[in-house]
């Protein structure tokens, strides 16, 4: 019996599907869920949600909480994006802008380095969700 997987973001249900297995980016590290998993509630860290074997489907998750209960995996995410729907060119441009801001931050104390690092992490995560090779 497959798992029922639901990803909910502030705008509504992003994903409602089934999967044989799921890898979740938990706050203490990634963990894998199979049917029959014990109940679990945990915080999420920004990372990739992998659905099915070999991560055929990926979702970039940007924090939140996850619950595993009765073969149901529910993520209440601060934000999330399905890998197949990510605009790769836009994510590449965001990565470039964030890298430029980080370089400039070394010379300009008015640039918020933590904000630039967070923007870079988000852009890289979006690209990873698409399966794009990152140089």
Domains, the chain, with CATH or none? 3-83 (2.60.15.10), 87-130 (1.20.5)
The 3-state DSSP class for residue 58 equals strand
Backbone angles phi, psi at 49, to 5 degrees: -95, 120
Q: Is the dihedral of CA 122, 128, 130, 135 positive or negative?
A: positive
Tens digits of per-residue pLDDT, 17-75?
Answer: 999 999 999 999 999 999 999 999 999 999 999 998 665 799 999 999 999 999 999 99
Return the beta strands (E) in 39-112 as ranges: 40-44, 47-51, 57-61, 64-69, 72-77, 80-82
What does R_g of the chain's alpha carbons equal in angstroms?
Answer: 16
């Amino acid at each position: 019996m497959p798992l029922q997987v639901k990803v909910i973001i502030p705008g509504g249900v992003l994903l409602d599907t089934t999967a044989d297995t799921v890898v979740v980016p938990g706050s203490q590290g990634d963990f894998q869920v199979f049917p029959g998993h014990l109940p679990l509630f945990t915080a999420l860290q920004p990372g990739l949600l992998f659905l099915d074997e070999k991560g055929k489907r990926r979702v970039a998750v940007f924090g939140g909480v996850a619950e595993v209960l009765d073969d149901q995996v529910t993520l209440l995410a601060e934000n999330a994006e399905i890998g197949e729907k990510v605009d790769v060119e836009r994510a590449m441009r965001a990565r470039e802008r964030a890298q430029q801001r980080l370089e400039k931050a070394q010379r300009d104390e008015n640039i918020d380095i933590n904000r630039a690092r967070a923007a870079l992490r988000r852009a890289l995560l979006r690209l990873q969700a698409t399966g794009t090779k990152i140089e």
